[in-house]
Amino acid sequence: MFGFWSAADDWVLVLHADGDRARVTRIVGVQLNTPVEGFDQLDIIANVDSDAEAGSAADGASAYPQSLLQHVTQEVDADARIENGVVLLSDGTRFVHPVVWRTPDPPSPGLPSHQCLERLVCAAQAEAFPDRARTVDAWLTSRVGPPYPSPKEHAWSCMAGWYAAQGCDDFWQALWRDAAIRNALESRLEMIGATASLRRALGVAGPATDPEPAL
């Protein structure tokens, strides 16, 4: 969890909690009930993993915004509502922007089987550097006595294979610095509506055609 001032000089709080939606939802309730001094508006960006199996019937529009609204109406404001994918509280000063991590890429070797932030990142790398996905898949398949599958094993295999010199802490920034991967990431963030959600939360003007979040 971290916070900063937006372009509109409002307070923006970003919650991830390793994609754990139950934990993120609880923190949203706590933060909405905590007064923020010195700011006229509070925007919370609630990041969670979809966790749906890629290509399954459950892989599509997420029910998380509605479950988040239910929690907010029960714990904070009975009159809260959703507009354009944003949970709005009745006082007009508190907003929650759900971002559900997934990617429209179909099941493919080298990508985690479940929808999450790591799958989105791996899909962007696979588009920019197809050989990397194949190499990671071959390495993971070749392991002797592997642990229970985790989506993190794909992302961190990419880190160890191509970004080890920069270290773990720099991995995500290194991806963004690579123009080919950044372009692939940006296109996917646009497709799932994350870019539009973040623009709204940060008070940054975007294209007039920004879609409603496809969470």
Q: How many residues does the chain have?
A: 215
Least confident of 29-38, 74-83, 133-142, 169-178: 29-38
- Is the pLDDT at 9 greater than 60, yes or no? no
Compare 7 and 32 and report the one with higher pLDDT.
Answer: 32
- Is the pLDDT at 14 greater than 70, yes or no? yes
Phi, psi dihedral angles at 184 (to 5 degrees): -70, -35
- Is the pLDDT at 3 greater than 80, yes or no? no
Compare 36 and 146 and report the one with higher pLDDT.
Answer: 146
In 3D space, the residue among 39, 44, 51 whose CA is nearest the CA of residue 68 turns out to be 44
Q: What is the pLDDT of residue 112?
A: 93
DSSP letters of the chain? -EEEE-TTS-EEEEE-GGG-HHHHHHHHHHHHTS--TT-S-EEEEEEEE--PBTTSTT-SS-SHHHHHHHHHHHHT-TT-EEETTEEE-TTSSEEEEEEEE---PPP-TTS-SB-SHHHHHHHHHHHH-HHHHHHHHHHHHH-SS--S--THHHHHHHHHHHSGGG-GGGHHHHHHHSHHHHHHHHHHHHHTTHHHHHHHHHT----TTPPPP--
Q: What is the pLDDT of residue 215?
A: 47
Q: Which two tokens stand for residue 61?
A: 């529009």
- Is the pLDDT at 62 greater than 80, yes or no? no
- Average pLDDT estimate for 16-37: 78
Q: How far is CA 57 from CA 52, 110, 117, 125, in A?
A: 9, 21, 19, 25
pLDDT-derived band at 5 (thresholds 50, 70, 90) equals low
Q: What is the pLDDT of residue 212?
A: 47
Which amino acid makes up residue 171? F
The string of pLDDT tens digits covering residues 76-116 is 999 999 998 899 999 888 889 999 999 999 999 999 999 99
Longest CA–CA separation in the chain, Å: 57
pTM of the model: 0.84
Least confident of 18-22, 54-58, 66-70, 195-199: 18-22
Q: Strands of 81-83's sheet, edge to edge?
A: 2-5, 11-15, 42-49, 94-101, 86-88, 81-83
